[in-house]
Amino acid sequence: MTDQERTTITVNRGTFEKVKSLKRGGECWDDLLEQMANSYHPDEFHNRTHDT
């Protein structure tokens, strides 16, 4: 991967530590974040947090 294909994401230290704790073995950050993105369903999250 070239430098032109990379970017940075600025997050709070606590968020970083939570995400970092999910990494396993030699897993790279890109693989972990892609798995998280693929399992996130914003409509389901929105409905769950706004149910009465």
Chain segment 7-48, per-residue pLDDT in tens: 999 999 999 999 999 999 999 999 999 999 999 988 876 676
Q: Which domain does 46 fall in, by range?
A: 26-52
39 located within any domain = yes
pLDDT at 52 over 60: no
11 contacts: CB under 8 Å, gap ≥ 6: 19
H-type alpha helices, 1-52? 13-20, 29-39, 42-49
pLDDT at 3 over 90: no
pLDDT at 1 over 90: no
33 located within any domain = yes
pLDDT at position 42 is 84
Report the domain count for the chain.
1
13 located within any domain = no
52 located within any domain = yes
Amino acid identity of residue 8, one-letter, is: T
44 located within any domain = yes
pLDDT, greater one: 50 or 44: 44
Residue 1 three-state SS: coil
| Angle between helical axes of 13-20 and 29-39 (0-180°, round to 10) | 90
In angstroms, rounded to a whole number, what is the distance separating the alpha carbons of residues 11 and 18?
11
19 located within any domain = no
